[in-house]
Amino acid sequence: MKMDFRLDGPEDAPLLVLSNSLGTTLDLWQPLMAALTRHFHVLRYNARGHGSTPLPASSLTLERLGLDVIDLLDKLRVEQALFCGISLGGMTGLWLSRFYPQRFHRMVVANTAARIGTPESWLNRATQIRRDGLSTVAATCSSRWFTPEFVRAAHPQVTRLIMQLAHADPAGYAACCEVLAAADLRADVRRMTVPLLVIAGEQDAVTTVEDARWLTSHIPAASLLSLPSSHLSCIACPAAFSEAVSEFLLRGSTNPPG
């Protein structure tokens, strides 16, 4: 299966995998790339049903999203990597921490939770999108992704990401909604052993600071950082986000993974 991915930064640096949120592509991370590629060989990829990465023939699951990351590492012959994911990408990271801890040195998960939303809300959204397309979701996503102040400032990233969502594949988005409807890692968190930084948005109503605190209180090697943002903290606070990611992932690494 063809995965849509891109590599940037020095090839002799530690490999950092970046995993996107629902409805975005690998371009989500562009505002952070100059900072991250100072320290890392960065692997960005599009999850199933996003960008030019196709959906699988069978039903999409969180396990499949996680195994796609492992398949990419195998393809690149990387034994151990670093990881940073946001929202659905963060939940993918939690799954990887539980089931493939040997493949990751350290991880950052942002604006995520062990259980995001309710099954009913995600299934209702999937049904709506398959029926009506993504126009309604795209028209209202700014209030979930960003603070009112960030939207009022007419930041160019707001328009870029909304337009990207409006032109995304409805079937891919709906399939990932169904992944989130089924995904529940609450019973697994105490078995997650990869050192973990959890980033929360202080005004995130989708995955709250309380969700992040729950993770850090149940995962043995987890710490918490909150940023003044809503759901897409990497866009609202790119400098603080990339600095926190770099500092945490490089901490104590005398023999960087690669």
Using the predicted structure, report yes or no on whether residue 155 has a pLDDT greater than 90.
Answer: no
- Residue 197 clears pLDDT 70, i.e. is over it: yes
What pLDDT does residue 35 have? 98
**What pLDDT, on the 0 to 100 scale, is given for residue 255?**
42
* 222, pLDDT greater than 80: yes
Instruction: Please give the average per-residue pLDDT across 226-244, as a whole number.
Output: 98
- Spatial CA neighbour of 201 closest among 190, 191, 210: 210
Q: Which of 199, 243, 189 is nearest to 221 (CA)?
A: 189
Residue 157, pLDDT > 50, answer yes
* Closest listed residue to residue 105, CA positions, set 14, 229, 7, 213: 14
Nearest Cα residue to 249 out of 69, 36, 87, 67: 36
List, for residues 43-94, the tens digit of each pLDDT value. Answer: 999 999 999 999 998 999 999 999 999 999 999 999 999 999 999 999 999 9
Residues 95, 62 contacting (CB under 8 angstroms)? yes
Beta strands 81-86 and 104-110 are parallel
Q: In this structure, what token pair is assigned to residue 203?
A: 């005004």
pLDDT at 49: 96
How high is the pLDDT of residue 247? Answer: 98
Dig out the tokens for 251 from the structure.
């901490």
CATH superfamily for 5-115+186-250 is Alpha/Beta hydrolase fold, catalytic domain (3.40.50.1820)
Rounded CA separation 227/236 (Å) = 9
For residue 7, give the amino acid letter.
L
| Per-residue pLDDT band at 233 (split at 50, 70, 90) | very high
Q: Which whole number is the average pLDDT over 231-252?
A: 96
Query: What's residue 257's pLDDT?
Result: 44
Residue 59 burial (CB count, 10 A): 11
Which whole number is the average pLDDT over 180-192? 97
- Give me the pLDDT at residue 1, please: 66
pTM of the model: 0.95
pLDDT tens sequence across 108-154: 999 999 999 999 999 999 999 999 999 989 989 999 999 999 998 87
Quote the tokens at residue 145.
Answer: 């992704």
Q: Quick one: average pLDDT of 159-181? A: 96
Strand pairing partners for 109? 85, 198
Q: Which segments of 61-140 does DSSP mark as H helices, in order?
A: 62-75, 88-99, 119-132, 135-140
> What beta strand segments (E) does 134-195 contain?
none
Helices (runs of H) and strands (runs of E) counted in the chain:
12, 7
pLDDT at res. 254 = 44
Give me the pLDDT at residue 154, please.
79
| Count of other CB atoms within 10 angstroms of residue 253 | 12
- Nearest in space to 21 (alpha carbons), one of 188, 202, 251, 204: 204
Mean pLDDT (the chain) is: 95
Q: Which of 88-92, 135-139, 223-227, 234-238 has the least mean pLDDT?
A: 135-139
